[in-house]
Structure 1
């Protein structure tokens, strides 16, 4: 047996021991069931490529990956797994996707994962990870990483200015061949299996049924990160999604964000950022969503088609921010809607015109009547000739 697919059922209890020590099993999908207990130690093998156990009630993931150098995708998201992230993953030298979201894992940031040369997607969202995500002796260097989601944890500390300098080439270099057929992760997997993931994009929490190999995303939201956002983020020109919201970042919004020419979604809301919004953001032609609300920003909002099309809520909560789409000019006065001005001014204009006409018309009528009366009395013949009576 090479493929075992038993997803989307109502299986309960422990994962069957009959699946242990499979010699040729390369694909095991038990997702969306009600399995509980621990993942069996004997479950993995040298031939296993995909292990999908997400959306169950599993409580423990022991060190079982000592013989899993063929494993490319491990998804144990949405379980009840506690403890530390298993260090035996270091043996999975071909691992491309690691998804442990929505569990109860309590650990520090896994810097040791940088030893995996093929790792492209790391999803640690909604766990109990804590501590700094930067370590001066150990720069964050993943050779092929292009998606990292560590949101909704308890990471702390600040990011050094050069934090993104050593990140991989796939995020730095812009894909040149746009005519080529899109490549998705898992295209070469057995049974055509393609990993999926949830991502916060353009203000929505959506599911990517397939992960494009050129899709770049950083989500650090919902932590306790502080200090300035590193200018070096501008080096990652292939980024499509950046979410740093709900932290304690201070200082200015880095102008280098204007170099992210493929950026479609930017969320910096609910921090303590100050100063002006960089004019460079107005040059991002693909930017469909921006949210910088609830900060301490000041000055005029840069104007462009992309920024002008955003909702008012994307900028509110900044006391000294002015300009469209906020109805507040930069002199502290609220700009009334144009339609309201037209409605109020038109009736007043009509009243003034009638008054002017009346002032000019009345004396003329009286003067004409008086002259006509005099002519009819003293020169009746002339009066009859003029009016041909």
Structure 2
């Protein structure tokens, strides 16, 4: 019988870079424009709201990860603190939501790397991108961590150069901060949460981190803090340079905001950043799939760990196949909205689980839980309906399994 336990190979720096790789590419290059479309000049307010909810979720996740240093993240925490069904619901939300995130990042890579490419070549390139990164993950988490370090370093360098160029350019006019009527800010905050959710990868990798009780609680706030600084600086520069209306209308706002000679560099940087997010996303989804398969909530043959490379190779291949199919058939905005709803459900369970722990972090867990619920149901209606449908389908599958068992 193949082994089902993973080896602890990742240190603090590896964990921080994996968290950065999961967040930087998603937020800067995929979520700013749709969020600006919802909030306009309220983008900065939405960013702060998303960051507050993310901080609460990160604090709850870090406390739980120190107690339960296993692969699976909130799937494990919900199961241990709230009961089997809640752990299952969190795991189902994570797997479905982050699989949609993988598809979104794949589409972002293709859009920036080959903007004029038509079908069927566009779909074929998306499949090739997923296959390549699945292969990197297949040959060991240490290689994945090294690749993520390189990708994050290149992305931050491109963003630094872009930021300097934007700061030196003329202003586009319009207010920098405003609160629009209706639920635009809350909807934008829900969309921007997609950009912050990458720190979950650190919790799902708990079984592969050295000294997890110390490393994970340090790595999560470090990665989140660095990401927030980068996001806030770029949001201000984009609003000043383009103005809220142009930012909302641009499919490639950073490339539009820099001088023409720098735009190709930004496009390459965007593709590389999205590759980093996709690499870490596939890593996290496969680990939750491993944990759920161990418990029989997903097919048990997916729980195998490769004897040489020490990765859940069957789970990674299965996730890669599903992501490739989705990337060839869905829309980027729909993928972001659905992913945000499902992952906010995941973190609602994490906060509820953290509330059962004693200590002064209980108010943070309550705030995080309330924030997750509000942001989830502030998303566009199609995303809410699709997310509720996916959770209902998962609940029905759980009920059928319980009856048969």
Q: TM-score range by the shorter chain?
A: under 0.3
Larger helix percent: 2
Which entry has the higher C-alpha Rg, 1 or 2? 1
TM-score in terms of structure 1 length: 0.23
Q: Does 1 or 2 have the higher relative contact order (CA < 8 Å, sep 6+)?
A: 2
